[in-house]
Structure 1
Amino acid sequence: MLKSIKVRDYMTRHLVTFRSDTDLFTAINRLLEHRISGAPVTDAHGHLIGLLSEGDCLRGILSGAYYEATGGTVGTYMSTEVETVSPEADVIELSERFLRGRRGRFPVVEQGRLVGQISRSDVLRAVKEFAQHEQGKHVTE
């Protein structure tokens, strides 16, 4: 039997994160360097306060070019309305949230603090393991 199908067991724990006062171009360089499309923004205590996506970065660069004032900080362009998930959430239920929405990942928050992130590929891995386990259980019965 699978020991768990909780988000905690499949989430990524080591994340690229930003602070709201991080320079926008520094953030863009880190996204490109790590080949990721976005990252959580936290305060000094590790509390999630937003997300910075490639789209947010593009908006920052384009508005800066339009107003002839390039740059700025992550806090100016990040999205502050962020859907999160608990580490205790069920991965199967989370897969349904992925199917209903267009998100590729959710920050995992416990008691207000960012503890990880779970992506579609993490959930796919979990669901595959669950399905293989269930298939194997029926074969041996």
Structure 2
Amino acid sequence: MKSKRHIKILEIIRQKNIETQEELAEELKSEGFNVTQATVSRDIKDLRLVKMQGATGIYSYAAPKTEENHLSAKLTKVLSTLTVSVENIDKMVIVKTVVAGANPVAEAIDGFGFDDIAGSIAGENTVFIMVRSIKGAEELVIKIREYIS
């Protein structure tokens, strides 16, 4: 749950200007995470988030570039070691994994922050991902293949 929450925090701060821990906690709650301010504080420390001044002069949370690279490296490792194949059939993307690899692969793909994903279902060795458009499905397959090659 912690890694899912960390991925969601990084996604939130990329998309919105979050000025306080309370704002971040509210965003996480609206995404279905049951968190306290203390939990958010620990997450900020774990992720090494910093407050940076934006173009408008307002300070908001941001992830240092090294954290994004670290997360990207984690995603690449999970996908490259557990994924067997990926293809799309219309708007559906099917990812075949090693046995018991579907859940971590699905979580890694969720970490992409790919807006065109409507939802995903992970079984034992297969992940089904419904994408909003055929073009989006094709782009997702290309992106996954880049990670696993």
Q: For the superposition of Structure 1 and Structure 2, which TM-score range results when normalised by the shorter chain?
A: 0.3 to 0.5
Q: Give the TM-score normalised by the residue count of structure 2.
A: 0.32
Q: TM-score, normalised by structure 1?
A: 0.33
Bigger proportion of residues as helix: 2
Tell which structure's C-alpha radius of gyration is larger.
Answer: 1
Work out which structure has the larger RCO, using CA pairs closer than 8 Å and 6 or more positions apart in sequence. Answer: 1
